[in-house]
Structure formats: structure tokens, C-alpha cells
Amino acid sequence: MSGARWAVFGLVGALAGGGGYWLQHAQEGAAVAATPASVLDASFKDLAGQPQRLDAWQGKLLVLNFWATWCPPCVKEMPAFMRLQQKYGTQGLQFVGIALDTREEVAKFVADHRIDFPILAGEEDVAVYMQRLGNGIGALPFTVVFDPSGAVRHTHQGEWPETDAEAVIQSWLVPR
């Protein structure tokens, strides 16, 4: 791994440990004004190495969760996200995880933990994209909710309790 990659991982890890908690309260519930073309035009590789465009999920209530295998709060919230995906997937909810890790590390984690929603992986490009969505310090986990038109409707810094996540999801689901 290059020195630049280690520097990004070190910075993100240090900030996640110290800075993520206070930002959780500052950003919780905030609606971010962003146009769909400006935020969903990114792509990341899936675990098979194939690029996946985020706008492929436009039309759904898209929840992007930025995480890493080495991040304890990230790992802790994964089972809740799987339960919410199971519960609301037929109503238009789609969780997508974007890991700040190598594909090899993420693939092993996904297999070991039986993650059942799409997981993408990247390194420096993930940190840059998180900043684009409002995660100025790069702390993990970081979660962004997009409405079906692709507009950012909610961001959450830090571990997201299941009941809080479910309340936000329910508020943005389109009744079917």
C-alpha cells in the first residue's frame, strides 16, 4: 500500500476515534442541499472488481453507509442495517455499503458476516466522495439518505441506532 493510502487511512482512523461523536449531533437530521447529478454520478467497484454507478439505485430510497472493516461502530451497526433492508426493501429501500478498505478485506468481511445488501469498496476515492457529501473530517461511520429523486435528505455521522435510522427511513418511504 502506498504512503498516501496509509496517510488517508491513518487520518480517517484518528478522526473516527476522536471527532465523529460531536459531529453526529451537529449533522443529525440535517438535510443537505445537493442536486442528484452532483452526488449520484460517482461509481465504485463491487467485490468482483466491476464498477457500479450509484445512480443505478436512483428511484429508490437509497441509504449509503460509509464504513470500514476495522471500525468497531461500523461493524456494530451492520446487523441493524440488514434488518432494515429486509423489512423495507419491498417498499423501495436500498442500503448500499461503501467501504474504505481493499476489496479483498471487504469481501472476506462480507462473506464472514453474510451481508445481504450491495457492498462497494474503494480507498482514497471513498474519502473524497464522503467529503463531497458533507463529511468534512472523514470520520466513520457516515450515512447518507437519498430520496428517490436522488436528493440528499439526511446525513448521520457516527453509529446510527436502529430506532433512529428506522424513523428517518419511514419518514422518506413512499407509500405503495
Q: Is 39 or 20 the better-scoring residue by pLDDT? A: 39
CA dihedral 117, 118, 123, 129 (to 10 degrees): -100
Architecture of domain 3-172: 3-Layer(aba) Sandwich (3.40)
What gap in Å lies between CA 45 and CA 48, rounded to an integer?
Answer: 8
What contacts 24+ positions apart, CB below 8 Å, involve 9-13? 9/100, 9/123, 11/138, 12/68, 12/100, 12/127, 12/138, 12/139, 12/140, 13/70, 13/71
Of 28-32, 99-103, 122-126, least confident by mean pLDDT is: 28-32
- Name the percent of the chain lying above pLDDT 70: 77
Beta strands in the chain (DSSP E): 43-46, 51-53, 61-67, 93-100, 119-122, 142-146, 152-157
Confidence at 22, pLDDT banded by 50, 70, 90: very low
Residue 21 pLDDT: 33
Q: Domain extents for the chain?
A: 3-172
Position 37 pLDDT exceeds 70? no
| Degrees to nearest 5, angle at CA 103 with 153 and 74 | 45
φ and ψ of 140, to 5 deg: -115, 155
Stretch (H or E) spanning 42: none
Position 78 pLDDT exceeds 50? yes
